[in-house]
Amino acid sequence: MKAIAYTRNGPIDVADALIDIDLPEPTPGPRDLLVQVRAVSVNPVDTKIRAGVAVTEPRVLGWDAVGVVKAVGNDVTLFKAGDEVFYAGSLIRPGTNSELHLVDERLVGHKPRSLGDAQAAALPLTAITAWELLFDRLGVAEGGGAGQSLLVVGAAGGVGSILVQLARQLTQMTVIGTASREATRQWVSDLGAHHVIDHHQPLLAQLQAAGVGEVTHVASLTHTDSHFEQLIEALQPQGKLALIDDPASLDVVPMKRKALSLHWELMFTRSLYQTADMIRQHELLERVAELVDQGVLKTTFGEHYGTINAANLRRAHQLLESGRAQGKIVLEGF
């Protein structure tokens, strides 16, 4: 089968940063689905692993996928051959940038019926991340949040684009997104943010100018270390800060004066540790698909980069690393 892999970690601008290879067809384990991959999207985790994780053999990247189930393991109960699915796979298994892919059924949902493959591929990883961050980590109740406010730093990116929608559609919170360019500001506004401010300018002053003032919750999705002091300043006493990025270090002591709480979100945790509630990700994706088909949520598809091959994936990695991506980058077909 066709696949795209990297054989040595490093920058994306070298010719062999990602290469086209052939691999044998995998065999499903007891709870695995063997999926014929039809579309994938690219996430920051792809670029971080390619750049920084050394390998001794070719490693296939990619976690988001849409495809059709070709075969199932002996213990599979949630799906059957022929089902159209979407999912984000496990960090410790081969990735989705291959014609055929194995994934545990507990991480998989039925693809939204109202979306094409490319549009659906934009959703799984970021939807799970945003859902877990908002409802599990920050502890906001679905349908609740009256009188509360959420500041989303990096709202035009993949996670931000779905988080803004979830907060606006499923809670009563006031939603403030940050974006620095005219196009991304409009994108965040169209997704439902009540206010859009610029993360390159002082945050609290902009929040006050918008009539919001200090916020009760912050979701910091990028450059947390650069904004950390301002985020503390922007939070109300006893507020909550959640993050998903990888700051080199954080001095959390200044959070004490306001009794602020800090929360980490990593959507791979359940599959990494095979937690007892791993099936929760299947349930989340089923709910997301339902909300999409009802018109409550819309895809965060940003750009289509063509077929799934090394050259197009290199271009996608380059755009992500530039920090100028809007929504999700998707590739389709082999």
pLDDT grade, residue 8 (50/70/90)?
A: very high
CATH class of 2-123+276-332: alpha beta
23-47 average pLDDT score: 97
Q: For residues 213, 214, 220 and 224, what is the CA-based torsion angle, rounded to 10 degrees?
A: 100
Q: How far apart are CA 259 and CA 51, in angstroms?
A: 37
CB-based contact 35:76 (threshold 8 Å):
no
Cα–Cα distances in Å, from 88 out to 53, 124, 172, 270? Answer: 20, 6, 28, 12
Query: 3-state class of 8 per DSSP?
Result: coil
Output the pLDDT for position 323.
83
pLDDT at 256 over 90: yes
The candidate with the shortest Cα–Cα distance to 217, out of 182, 260, 159, is 260
Domain boundaries along the sequence of the chain: 2-123+276-332, 126-264
Residue 147, by phi and psi: left (phi above 0), alpha (psi -120 to 50) or beta? left
pLDDT grade, residue 327 (50/70/90)?
A: confident
Q: pTM of the predicted model, to two decimals?
A: 0.95
Calculate the average pLDDT of the chain.
96
Q: How far apart are CA 269 and CA 281, in angstroms?
A: 11
Mean pLDDT check: name the lowest of 13-17, 22-26, 37-41, 134-138: 13-17
CB-based contact 71:78 (threshold 8 Å):
no
Q: How far apart are CA 118 and CA 329, in angstroms?
A: 9
| Structure token digits, residue 307 | 């077929």
pLDDT at 14 over 90: no
Task: Look up the CATH superfamily of 126-264.
Answer: NAD(P)-binding Rossmann-like Domain (3.40.50.720)
Q: Does 2-123+276-332 match 126-264 in CATH topology? A: no
CA angle 91, 96, 102 (to 5 degrees): 80
Q: How far apart are CA 284 and CA 76, in angstroms?
A: 18
Pairwise pLDDT comparison (326 vs 103), residue with the higher score = 103
118-145 average pLDDT score: 97
98-126 average pLDDT score: 98
CB-based contact 178:154 (threshold 8 Å):
yes
Write the pLDDT tens digit of every residue in 201-226: 999 999 999 999 999 999 999 999 99
220-236 average pLDDT score: 96
Q: How far apart are CA 107 and CA 306, in angstroms?
A: 26
